[in-house]
Amino acid sequence: MHLFDVYPLQNITIERALGSWVWDDQGRKYLDMYGGHAVISIGHTHPHYLKRLTDQLGKIGFYSNSVHMSIQQELAETLGRVSGKQEYQLFLCNSGAEANENALKLASFHTGRKKIVAFKKGFHGRTSLAVAATDNPKIVAPVNETENILFLPFNDEAAIDACFRKQGDEIAAVIVEGIQGVGGINVATDTFLQTIRARCDEYGAVYIADSVQCGYGRSGKFFSHDWADKPADIYTTAKGMGNGFPIGGVWIAPHLKPWHGMLGTTFGGNPLACAAALAVAETIEKEGLLENAATQGNYLMEELKKRSAVTEVRGRGLMIGIDLPLEKADLRQRLLYEKGIFTGEAKPNVIRLLPSLALRRAEAEHFLEAFWSLL
């Protein structure tokens, strides 16, 4: 049987990693400025992460959610403290798509409505309703198609107002990324998110803050939506939550009341996943990684904006999009194969930077030196 390569890179097989660096099977060293799709939040093979997981494996690796497990409550309390969302309930699952799927279902149950507002260039996952709410026809199969998704332009407050005036009584939820990742690192304005909050309050809809990629400290605040200072009804998390161990979460405001059996999962919140997530939250808190993400991200963006060879730089914290002239669209490949630096892409000419929140200044400078040398 042959493995299906999801995102194949030619002739690179990664075998080990440490901090912000990875090594291939030939011993070549690469600077990881992509964090495995924004997953590596505290750095590869962090010692506290390794200890948390190995200690937990020696106790119990899995049991059914039909019984209480103290590590799940420990995680909920820790995340409440670190994020400032102590009053929320936490439903644990396995991925961002699963988190968004459950958030949308919960909103529909709560309101009794069917319609969902989503946004152009948004990405919410690859499962049924999550992919239907994603603005990408290439991954929406016929079985996912529905008339219940209303796609609006991103950062367009007038479009939100008009949509709610016309169909507000039918709208169950608005789902929005605080910073669109796959869409090209498009930052939601504070007034845009505040308008969403206001219309949801006015019409009784649920405000879902998709924080799968843009959350968990990546923007310099725990949730990128926090920049607007208007809390959401539901936050969804995954990616950086487990630093590579699969785990997702649905953060549910007190006025939403899921009943037992509405939300369920076999593997979600298993003790190993909780141990990984605890290590991440504890490290973010102890090592001041929110502040580091803001500091290093601001430095990178300021330096990148100094060169006219870059069309535009967008982002917050360590979630950065670099727009390049179309003739430089091959720069990501050149960074990888010529300079040994992993980055991501959004469109052919947009480079995405999503490194560990523990990125050091010397590593940021190393990236900049390599980047400028290829322009």
Q: Give the pLDDT of residue 8.
A: 65
What is the 3-state composition of the chain as percent helix, strand, coil, each rounded to the nearest 5?
Answer: 40, 20, 40
Beta bridge partners of 313: 322
Phi–psi pair at 202, nearest 5 degrees: -65, -40
Q: Give the pLDDT of residue 348.
A: 85
Q: Give the pLDDT of residue 233.
A: 98
Is the Cα torsion angle 206, 212, 217, 219 positive or negative in sign? negative
Residue keyed to tokens 């799968």: 212
- pLDDT less than 50: residues of the chain: none
CB 192 within 8 A of CB 155: yes
Which domains, from first to last, does the chain contain? 20-46+289-349+360-374 (3.90.1150.10), 48-286 (3.40.640.10)
Whats the size of the chain, residue-wise? 375
Q: Give the pLDDT of residue 18.
A: 97
Phi–psi pair at 350, nearest 5 degrees: -120, 120
Q: Give the pLDDT of residue 307.
A: 86
Return d(Cα 138, Cα 84) in angstroms, integer.
38
Return d(Cα 259, Cα 240) in angstroms, integer.
28
Instruction: Assign 63 to helix, strand or coil.
Output: coil
- Burial status of residue 327 (CB atoms within 10 A of its CB: 0-12, 13-18, 19 or more): exposed
